Amino acid sequence: MTAPAAIKKKAPGANDCGQEDQTAEHILQRCPLLDEERKEVWPSPTPLQTKLYGSRQELEKTTTFITSAGLIV
Protein backbone atom coordinates (compact mmCIF):
# COMPACT_ATOMS: atom_id res chain seq x y z
CA MET A 1 0.00 0.00 0.00
CA THR A 2 1.43 3.35 -1.01
CA ALA A 3 0.24 6.79 -0.03
CA PRO A 4 0.02 9.49 -2.68
CA ALA A 5 3.31 11.25 -3.11
CA ALA A 6 1.85 14.56 -1.97
CA ILE A 7 1.22 13.19 1.51
CA LYS A 8 4.82 12.30 2.14
CA LYS A 9 6.34 15.22 0.35
CA LYS A 10 9.64 16.17 1.86
CA ALA A 11 10.83 19.58 2.88
CA PRO A 12 12.81 21.59 0.37
CA GLY A 13 16.44 20.58 0.49
CA ALA A 14 15.65 17.13 1.83
CA ASN A 15 17.14 15.69 -1.34
CA ASP A 16 20.58 16.64 -0.08
CA CYS A 17 21.62 13.22 1.14
CA GLY A 18 25.29 14.19 1.37
CA GLN A 19 26.45 11.10 -0.52
CA GLU A 20 27.55 12.82 -3.69
CA ASP A 21 26.70 15.82 -5.81
CA GLN A 22 22.98 16.17 -6.37
CA THR A 23 23.20 15.87 -10.11
CA ALA A 24 20.25 14.99 -12.29
CA GLU A 25 21.64 11.48 -12.62
CA HIS A 26 21.99 11.07 -8.87
CA ILE A 27 18.51 12.36 -8.18
CA LEU A 28 16.83 10.40 -10.94
CA GLN A 29 18.75 7.15 -10.46
CA ARG A 30 20.34 6.81 -7.08
CA CYS A 31 19.46 9.25 -4.33
CA PRO A 32 18.30 7.06 -1.41
CA LEU A 33 16.11 9.83 -0.05
CA LEU A 34 13.95 9.66 -3.17
CA ASP A 35 13.60 5.88 -3.41
CA GLU A 36 9.88 5.89 -2.65
CA GLU A 37 9.05 8.61 -5.14
CA ARG A 38 11.21 6.90 -7.73
CA LYS A 39 9.45 3.55 -7.31
CA GLU A 40 6.06 5.17 -7.70
CA VAL A 41 7.01 6.67 -11.04
CA TRP A 42 9.30 3.89 -12.29
CA PRO A 43 8.37 0.56 -10.66
CA SER A 44 11.18 -1.10 -12.60
CA PRO A 45 14.70 0.22 -13.25
CA THR A 46 14.81 2.67 -16.15
CA PRO A 47 17.96 3.99 -17.84
CA LEU A 48 18.80 7.64 -17.29
CA GLN A 49 18.87 8.06 -21.05
CA THR A 50 15.20 7.09 -21.20
CA LYS A 51 14.27 9.44 -18.38
CA LEU A 52 15.95 12.44 -19.99
CA TYR A 53 15.64 11.78 -23.69
CA GLY A 54 12.86 9.21 -24.01
CA SER A 55 9.41 9.51 -25.50
CA ARG A 56 7.02 12.22 -24.43
CA GLN A 57 5.42 9.72 -22.07
CA GLU A 58 8.78 9.02 -20.46
CA LEU A 59 9.55 12.69 -20.08
CA GLU A 60 6.20 13.21 -18.39
CA LYS A 61 7.17 10.55 -15.85
CA THR A 62 10.39 12.42 -15.19
CA THR A 63 8.44 15.63 -14.66
CA THR A 64 6.05 13.84 -12.30
CA PHE A 65 8.97 12.50 -10.29
CA ILE A 66 10.67 15.87 -10.01
CA THR A 67 7.42 17.52 -9.00
CA SER A 68 6.51 14.91 -6.40
CA ALA A 69 10.03 15.09 -5.00
CA GLY A 70 9.68 18.86 -4.69
CA LEU A 71 12.78 19.43 -6.78
CA ILE A 72 13.90 21.97 -9.27
CA VAL A 73 16.71 20.54 -11.34
Would you tell me which residues interact with Zn ion (CB under 5 A)? Answer: 17, 31
Total H helices, total E strands in the chain: 4, 0
Closest distance to Zn ion from the beta carbon of 61 (Å): 19
- Residue among 31 and 69 whose Cβ is closer to Zn ion: 31
**DSSP letter string over 53-67?**
HS-HHHHHHHHHHHH
CB of 59: closest distance to Zn ion in angstroms? 22
15 with 31: CB under 8 angstroms? yes
Least distance from Zn ion to the Cβ atom of residue 16, Å? 7
